[in-house]
Amino acid sequence: MRSYNFSPGPAALPKEVLERAAKEMVEYAGDGMSVMEMSHRSKMYEDIHNAAIDLLRELMAIPDNYKILFLQGGASQQFAMIPMNLKKNGKADFVITGEWSARAYKEASNILEAKVAASSENEKFAFIPEIKEISADADYFHICSNNTITGTRFLEFPDTGDVPLVADMSSGILSEIFDVSKFGLIYAGAQKNIGPAGLTVVIIREDLLERENKIPAFFKYKQHADTNSMLNTPPTYSIYMTKLCLEWLKSKGGVAGIQKNNEAKAKVLYDFLDNSQMFKGIAAKSHRSLMNVPFTTGDEAKDKDFVKAAATAGFVNLGGHRLVGGLRASIYNAMPTEGVQALVDFMEKFEKGK
């Protein structure tokens, strides 16, 4: 029996996708081989690759003047690739809302003059800080749209004017509707809401590809855009799995449909936390994430007892991030509503000592 997997990433994948992949593992579409074995230059793989790109463009309503890149190296590699590619005046602004935006800021500081425009660090990243100023001469303005560790999210995105807005959407992409045209660049590791680990998606406005910087060719976005993300061997199986996940998402009513489901799931869990005498949510109510819900009993030993008891009952990966401890339930697109309800039922029993 499959567990309810609340991992923050690599995260749960839709069961239907896993079952289809299992059927196609040994031989794909009568081609006599697995997708894992295909040449990335073959017509069969090229069709998979392009279908995944087309599906992502459709589901996110990505305008024609944006390129979709399928890269490797995770979101962490983008912390360096972004300043290397977008550097123009040698300056960038950052909103620090958690560990990952802090790392993006630190990495960019090695390449250009990075400025903290706002931060919620003094309140343990429990909320999204107010942005009072945006540098007019900044090469880009960086945010993390959803914070996996502390469970906060931007409900509204800043208007950065002519300064390109750059967003790490690793844990929020495809969970709710975003207006892509507000951003200069969006990037995301696939392993939370797109597909399995191994793929990184970059969505970049075409004019930003023209910024000329002397960097290694492999790290230039334009090189990848010009070769349709085939500059070298792409993570072919991860892209195939992403295609299946995107097809599944489309069958669920697309992003609009899954957003309604995500809002309903989150409400079930947050309503319980708001009324519980034992468990308490951590993030400010005004900035709560739909995807990552950190909480705690307030007692480290009891938190550990809960994680152990939950795992025995089939609810796994509920421990908080190693940097902050506590508890956390990641309820990405693939987590069914019944999984969240079952978790709440278990938490009620645990609280009552049953």
Does residue 303 sit in the same domain as residue 209? no
Tell me: do 54 and 78 sit in the same domain: yes
- Give residue-wise pLDDT tens across range 121-167: 999 999 999 999 999 999 999 999 999 999 999 999 999 999 999 99
Q: Tell me the per-residue pLDDT of 191-244, one tens digit each, with 9 for 90 and over.
A: 999 999 999 999 999 999 999 889 999 999 999 999 999 999 999 999 999 999
- Tell me, yes or no, whether 166 lies in a domain: yes
Q: How many domains does the chain have?
A: 2
> Which residues lie closer than 8 Å to 222 by C-beta, 6 or more apart?
209, 210
pLDDT, average across residues 173-201: 97
Task: Report if residue 4 sits inside a domain.
Answer: no
The pLDDT value given to residue 353: 85
Backbone angles phi, psi at 315, to 5 degrees: -110, 105
Both 181 and 234 in a single domain? yes
Residue 354 confidence class, pLDDT cut points 50, 70, 90: low
Residue 74 maps to a domain: yes
pLDDT over 70 (residue 105): yes
Same domain, 208 and 319: no
Structural tokens at position 135: 């540098």
**Annotation marks residue 248 as catalytic:** no
Using alpha carbons, list the distances in angstroms from residue 248 to 5, 107, 193, 337.
18, 36, 12, 16
Q: d(Cα 268, Cα 83) in Å, to the nearest integer? A: 40
* CATH code of 69's domain: 3.40.640.10
Mark whether 156 and 129 lie in a shared domain. Answer: yes
Looking at the predicted structure, is the pLDDT value of residue 67 above 90?
yes
Same domain, 310 and 176: no
Please report, for the domain that includes residue 300, its CATH number.
3.90.1150.10
pLDDT band at 323 (very low <50, low <70, confident <90, very high): confident
Domain termination site, one of 251, 283, 301 = 251
Looking at the structure, tell me whether residues 235 and 321 fall in a common domain. no
Same domain, 224 and 301: no
Q: Is the pLDDT of residue 63 over 90?
A: yes
Same domain, yes or no: 257 and 222: no
The whole-number pLDDT of residue 10 equals 96
**19-48: pLDDT as tens digits:** 999 999 999 998 899 999 999 999 999 999
Active site residue 168: yes
User: Could you tell me how far CA 101 lies from the centroid of its own chain?
Assistant: 13
Question: Which residue among 234, 251, 268 closes a domain?
Answer: 251
On whether residue 3 sits in a domain, the answer given is no
Q: 256 pLDDT exceeds 70?
A: yes
d(CA 187, CA 146): 12
Given the residues 67, 168, 222, 243, select the one marked as catalytic.
168
User: In this structure, is residue 56 part of a structural domain?
Assistant: yes
Range of the domain at 126: 15-251
What's residue 212's pLDDT? 84
Whole-number Å distance between alpha carbons of 174 and 169: 9
Reported as type and span, the H/E element at residue 15 is helix 15-23
> Are 299 and 159 in the same domain?
no
Q: Does one domain contain both 82 and 165?
A: yes
Neighbour tally for 231: CB within 10 Å:
16
- Catalytic-labelled residue, pool 87, 100, 265, 303: 100
Asked if the structure places residue 8 within a domain, the reply is: no
**260: enclosing H helix or E strand:** helix 254-275
Residue 226 sits at φ, ψ, to 5 deg, of -70, -20
Look at residues 195, 228, 251 and tell me which one is the last residue of a structural domain. Answer: 251
Decide if 6 is inside a domain: no
The neighbour count for residue 344, using CB atoms within 10 Å, is: 18
Query: Are 227 and 136 within one domain?
Result: yes
Q: What is the pLDDT of residue 82?
A: 98
Start-to-end CA span in the chain (Å): 23
Mean pLDDT of 317-344: 94
179 is catalytic: no
Say what the pLDDT of residue 9 is: 92
